[in-house]
Amino acid sequence: MLVHTIKEVRDNVKQWKKEGLTVGVVPTMGALHAGHASLIKKAVEKCDKVVVSVFVNPIQFGPAEDYDKYPRTLDADVKLAEGIGADIIFAPSPDEMYGKGQRLSNDTLTYVAPPYFYVNKLCGKTRVGHFDGVCTVVMKLFNITQADYGFFGQKDAQQFIILNKMVHDLNVPIELIECPIVREPSGLALSSRNKYLDEKGKVDALALSQILNNIKACYNKGITDISALKETSLKFLNENHDLEYLEFVDKDNLEDKTKADDNTLVLIACRVHGVRLIDNILLK
């Protein structure tokens, strides 16, 4: 069932809770692909009732980012989510989520602010304010749905670690479930932003997963020196790539690693033909 208002979600949730049913929430920005489908499937398996939110959240986009052109495919999203067994697809307008006429700034709106240490690195370094916007909207969705479980993709690994920290620090009564990255047969990690790529772009985009797989293969052969591991990636990059970062951090707390080990998460962000893509791999 497609609904657009907070009240409709709340009325349903209230009834479900009365019946003692568990609720799962899958927060998305729509443009659903097989990666999202895997999250919804997992939620349907684990929970009695599932809410999939479809909301392109303005406060997590910077002024120079792609908020306006971000793909919006609500009809297809509803079909996909209902096909898997989602009970509610919640697609609010920005006015419904933030209040009509509400200015969207720290001056006028309550934010959930994740720790600087988690935010001032990796994607947060260039996407200033992004994770504040993510935490704020996700906290709203958790409160609206009062979900017992929240489902997120490992694709956005930094986001998951930050949301888990939020849940811990603010004692949010929910458990977060991280689901593996879904990839095309070529290795390309699924992303709604892949729609911005043409055929040539999709080929060059393979560099991200190739770099990560190659690093893991080298690590498995015994190389733990991070500079050496980084160097192996150079051969995959060409003039169509603009590497933003390639970092080795602890999978739980995002602390920089001095040597690669089994707890190391390797993350990459790279512009490919101007399209910003991310990917990551756990060395274990």
Task: Using CB under 8 A, list all residues that contact a second copy.
Answer: 6, 10, 17-18, 20, 98-99, 106-117, 135-136, 139-140, 143-144, 146, 165-166, 168-173
DSSP letters for 29-85: -S---HHHHHHHHHHHHH-SEEEEEE---GGGS-TTSSTTTS---HHHHHHHHHHHT
Return the biggest CA–CA distance within the chain: 59
Per-position DSSP letters for 161-182, written without gaps between them = HHHHHHHHHTT-S-EEEEEPPP
What count of residues does the chain have? 284
Rounded to 5°, the CA angle 226-231-234 comes to: 145
User: 7 or 195, CB closer to a second copy?
Assistant: 7
Please say which residue, 105 or 126, places its beta carbon nearer to a second copy.
105
For residue 93, the tally of other CB atoms under 10 A from its CB is 11
C-beta closer to a second copy: residue 32 or 59: 59
Least distance in angstroms from the C-beta of 240 to a second copy:
37
| Shortest distance, position 169 Cβ to a second copy, whole Å | 4
Q: Are 30 and 73 in contact (CB under 8 A)?
A: yes
CB 116 to a second copy: min, Å: 5
Give the shortest CB-115-to-a second copy separation in angstroms: 5
Task: Give the residue numbers marked as catalytic.
Answer: 36
Nearer Cβ to a second copy (134/189)? 134
